[in-house]
Amino acid sequence: MRVLQARSIADQVDEILLERIRSGIYSPGNRIPSESELSDELGVSRATVRSVLAKLAANGFIIRKQGDGTYVNEHAHRASAHFGNLWDLTELIAGNGYNPSIRLISIAQRPATEKESLVLGLEAGDELICLRRLFHADQRAVILADNVIPASMLCEPMKNIDGGLHIREIFELYFHKKIAFVLTNIRSVVLDPGAHRYLAGESARPILQLQTTFYEKNNLPLALGVNVFDDSFLHLSLAQAWN
């Protein structure tokens, strides 16, 4: 399998190796091919492979043994998320063993609140693009996601936005921005009636809320997110390498 040029090469290599780990092609506790072998197979530079392996090691997927090679962490398959990908809701669903899909519920424009303006560095009343989307695990709705993005960043007509895309692709295609990192705050909240319309189970029950702030490389905020996470169906277990 060789990578294509539609997305960054490193992202594609990362996705390929993650899928091999998750599917068992690279089984827990076993050694994976060397940097040079992966470089030849995938048609990318050794530097690209090295950077991807460093990321996988930092997130606990693999263990690098000096002079012996690189091994799949035999415990990593038990985790549904890794700190490097906690904000990635499709990865979270896939990590639970389900097929993720996204349905756009609504897209609208409104003025930013005082709190949103402060966090996003906007003037009071500046317009936001508001996306409400529902993430499914197979056919079950499991995460209700609300994102707000400054309208001034939009480079395409709002009506053209495909809400079924990954948030990374939405930023790249319609805002011409790249997400560099995300801060996630995890809280326990009571499921409100508005969210209960979309998620199964009892109303007014405790539920996890993931509050996210997306940033560019220069530390400028890109967007805010509030994700209501049905932890009665999905489990959130984290793995991270300690150095």
Mean of pLDDT values over 28-49: 92
- Residue 132 is predicted with a pLDDT of 98
Query: Could you tell me which of 234, 179, 193 has the C-alpha nearest to residue 210?
Result: 234
Instruction: Give Cα separations from 126 to 3, 27, 92, 152, 172 (angstroms).
Output: 41, 50, 32, 8, 22
Instruction: Enumerate residues 6+ apart whose C-beta is below 8 A from 228.
Output: 143, 144, 145, 189, 191, 195, 199, 207, 208, 209
Chain position carrying tokens 């030849």: 40
Tokens 């390498």 correspond to 241
AA letter at 175? F
Residue 125 φ then ψ, to 5°: 85, -5
Between 74 and 10, the more confident residue is: 10
Q: What percent of the chain has pLDDT over 70?
A: 88
Backbone angles phi, psi at 107, to 5 degrees: -140, 130
The percentage of residues in the chain with a pLDDT greater than 90, rounded to a whole number, is: 46
What is the model's pTM?
0.66
Q: How far apart are CA 13 and CA 55, in angstroms?
A: 11
Average predicted confidence (pLDDT) for the chain: 86
Q: In the chain, what are the domains?
A: 9-78 (1.10.10.10), 82-239 (3.40.1410.10)
Average pLDDT for residues 154-174, to the nearest whole number? 95
Query: Mind giving me the DSSP string for 135-159?
Result: EEETTEEEEEEEEEEEGGG--S-GG
Residue-wise pLDDT tens digits, 184-241: 888 889 998 889 899 987 888 888 898 989 988 777 899 999 999 888 888 776 665 5
The string of pLDDT tens digits covering residues 60-84 is: 788 888 888 999 887 666 555 554 5
What are the structure tokens assigned to 143, written together?
């995460």
